A and B are shown apart, each in its own frame.
Chain A
Amino acid sequence: MIQIKNLTKIYQTKKESITALRGVNLEINDGEIFGIMGLSGAGKSSLIRCINRLEEPTEGSIEINGHDIMSLNHDELREMRKKIGMIFQHFNLLSSKTVYENIAFPLNISGVPANEIDKRINELLGMVGLADKKDSYPSQLSGGQKQRVGIARALANRPTLLLSDEATSALDPQTTAQILSLLKEINRRLNLTIIIITHQMDVIREICDRVAVLNSGELVEVGNVVDIFSQPSSQITKKFVGIEDGIPEDIIDYENGRVIRILFIGRSAREPVISRLVKTFDVDANILSGNIQHIHSETIGNLIIGLEGKPDKIEDAIGWLKNQGLKIEVLK
């Protein structure tokens, strides 16, 4: 488990001091895929880089499995880093070394014996599906292949934690999906904790178990991905997941009857609620906007409908909806 307490990071430049993180408290469980999202400059990279001390925290503490990483000296820090893999947006492979040599790098610097290195690299090449590319140079690989090398390299020393800073941001959607499923597979197979920074909502939806939202250096929300995506509480998260407060701009002039927002989660999303409503209460339901998202195996529907008909019928209808285990918000 990773425990981050009151983490503050201030960058001191000649002209000014920039507070990138402000008293962040966070716990990340073993074996989970934890997402961190936030706008550009929110402090995501600073946060993840404090975890392996590529950046020195200004204040606060970070414990990994009960070990305070702030108290480590240089040698201890290097030993700890060998157990924390990291992958990057621009892959950061050694251009002068082959795929094989790139993956060998962390093993070489850890002094692993040559025969073990060879065995380990072949395992890793198999795991990331690049056995046939082992003698290629990075410049001969596609972006997705480069990131696979990056992943193999990060896993070489059998880390317990993998840090990923925008690892799919330079890839096309299809390649992104492949890399994500590789990460998910690794997570399940090795029970590896993965911390993923991204500004791509799809990445969070696709593979994260829990997510934290950062805004201007402050942690504004942490929770299960399904909860955060269905019921975001902060303004910034709502913007991220595409749920706006109040009535969307384009239907503000809707004048007939009442406007309600219905949130479906899980099974309820598959039930014919609207058609039952229409039949039972003799009201017309006018779908004004809506979307359905699939997160892991959950379905989250978000629907804004206009109800037209006799006022008392409408009230009854709204009352009935509330009893269906749906989250209802009357907008107008």
Chain B
Amino acid sequence: MNQELIRILNLLIPSLWQTIYMVLLSTVFSLILGLPLGVLLVITEKGGIWEKPAFNNILGAVINILRSFPFLILMIVIFPLSRLVVGTTIGTTATIVPLSIAATPFVARVIESSLKEVDWGVIEASLSMGATPFQIITRVLIPESLPSLILGITLTIINIIGYSAMAGAIGGGGLGDLAIRYGYQRYDTPVLIATVIVLILIVQIVQITGSYLAKKVDRR
């Protein structure tokens, strides 16, 4: 029994780190890409603080197209880009490229819907005080929607965890990869169950932390 446990842990722990590594970096990159896009979606909308309706339509369409790609297909399409960025198309680091790109349009929409919750009256008050669009973004839109943004980012992380499990398909490593190789291909049920439990725990921890933080910063 003890040996079995050690065997499972030996498999699990490196995979867990790979998952954390992939998810963390992909979250960071998708936020770096998605946040400005989400902000642009809101401010360039008709009636927004930096109205650019034509641009808004195009951006919206591009984001929708990216979102409609199934993740597996996106990964394959993005192979050349992965090679360009990280020099390889397989492995944990290479997976971060398609993961980030797959999550970016999702992040953009999540950020968009959070920012749209900000009361227009508050934006208007800021305009009446002579705030620039940039000041409104950084000092009004983002701080005012912070609770909702945190929940959105939580949702993004959980989504990326889901995607990262699929990433095993291209040898991305991580818990999903472990579950496929041992649980599915070798009928190693204990490893399968252990991976599932660890994934459930990670998702729970992320959700609970996210909800807690969102509540903590909420002053409404």
Interface residues of A (CB under 8 A from B): 52, 54, 77-82, 84, 86, 88, 90, 92-97, 105-106, 108-110, 137-139, 153, 157, 163
**Given B127, B131, B139, B146, which contacts A54 in the complex, CB threshold below 8 Å?**
B127
Return chain A residues, CB-CB under 8 Å to B143. Answer: 94, 96-97
Return chain B residues, CB-CB under 8 Å to A106. Answer: 129-130
- Among B21-29, B94-102, B117-125, which stretch is in contact with chain A? B117-125
Return chain B residues, CB-CB under 8 Å to A88. Answer: 121, 124-125
Q: Determine if B112 is an interface residue (Cβ-Cβ < 8 Å).
A: no
Q: Are A108 and B139 in contact (CB under 8 A)?
A: yes
> Chain A interface mostly helix, strand, loop or mixed?
mixed
Return chain A residues, CB-CB under 8 Å to B144. Answer: 94-96
**Given A81, A93, A108, which contacts B122 in the complex, CB threshold below 8 Å?**
A93
**Given B119, B128, B219, B220, which contacts A81 in the complex, CB threshold below 8 Å?**
B128
Return chain B residues, CB-CB under 8 Å to A109. Answer: 126, 129-132, 135, 139
A202 to chain B, nearest CB (A): 24
A91 to chain B, nearest CB (A): 8
Write 6 A-B pairs (CB below 8 A) sorted by A numbering: A86-B128, A86-B129, A88-B124, A92-B122, A109-B135, A139-B219
A73 to chain B, nearest CB (A): 13
Q: Determine if B140 is an interface residue (Cβ-Cβ < 8 Å).
A: yes
Q: How far is the CA of A153 from the CA of B140 in the complex (A)?
A: 15
Would you give the 0/1 interface string for B59-96, flagging 1 where the beta carbon is closer than 8 Å to chain A?
A: 00000000000000000000000000000000000000
A43 to chain B, nearest CB (A): 18
Residue of A nearest to B219 (CB): A137
Known: A94-B140, A108-B139, A109-B135. A81 touches B146 (CB 8 A): no
**Given A54, A77, A84, A139, which contacts B124 in the complex, CB threshold below 8 Å?**
A54
Residue of A nearest to B131 (CB): A109
Q: Are B121 and A92 in contact (CB under 8 A)?
A: yes
Q: How far is the CA of A54 from the CA of B120 in the complex (A)?
A: 13
Residue of B nearest to A106 (CB): B129
Q: Are B219 and A54 in contact (CB under 8 A)?
A: no
Residue of A nearest to B135 (CB): A109
Q: How far is the CA of A106 from the CA of B139 in the complex (A)?
A: 11
Known: A88-B125, A105-B139, A109-B139. A96 touches B130 (CB 8 A): no
Residue of B nearest to A86 (CB): B128
Return chain A residues, CB-CB under 8 Å to B131. Answer: 78, 109
Residue of B nearest to A107 (CB): B129
Q: How far is the CA of A79 from the CA of B130 in the complex (A)?
A: 6
A150 to chain B, nearest CB (A): 8
Known: A95-B219, A105-B139. A54 touches B128 (CB 8 A): yes
Return chain A residues, CB-CB under 8 Å to B125. Answer: 86, 88, 92-93
Chain A CB within 10 A, most for which of B122, B125, B126: B125
**Given B119, B126, B128, B132, which contacts A84 in the complex, CB threshold below 8 Å?**
B128
Return chain B residues, CB-CB under 8 Å to A77. Answer: 130
Q: Are B127 and A81 in contact (CB under 8 A)?
A: yes
Q: Are A96 and B121 in contact (CB under 8 A)?
A: no
Residue of A nearest to B142 (CB): A96
Q: Are A105 and B124 in contact (CB under 8 A)?
A: no
A162 to chain B, nearest CB (A): 11
Known: A96-B143, A96-B219, A139-B219. A90 touches B121 (CB 8 A): yes
The 9 closest A-B pairs by CB, nearest first: A92-B125, A81-B130, A78-B130, A92-B121, A82-B130, A86-B128, A106-B129, A137-B219, A96-B143
Q: Are A105 and B129 in contact (CB under 8 A)?
A: yes
Q: Are A92 and B124 in contact (CB under 8 A)?
A: yes
Known: A54-B124, A86-B125. A110 touches B130 (CB 8 A): yes
Chain A CB within 10 A, most for which of B127, B130, B131: B130
Known: A81-B127, A92-B124, A137-B219. 15 other contacts (CB 8 A): A54-B124, A54-B128, A80-B130, A81-B128, A81-B129, A86-B129, A88-B121, A88-B125, A90-B121, A93-B122, A94-B140, A94-B143, A95-B219, A109-B126, A138-B219
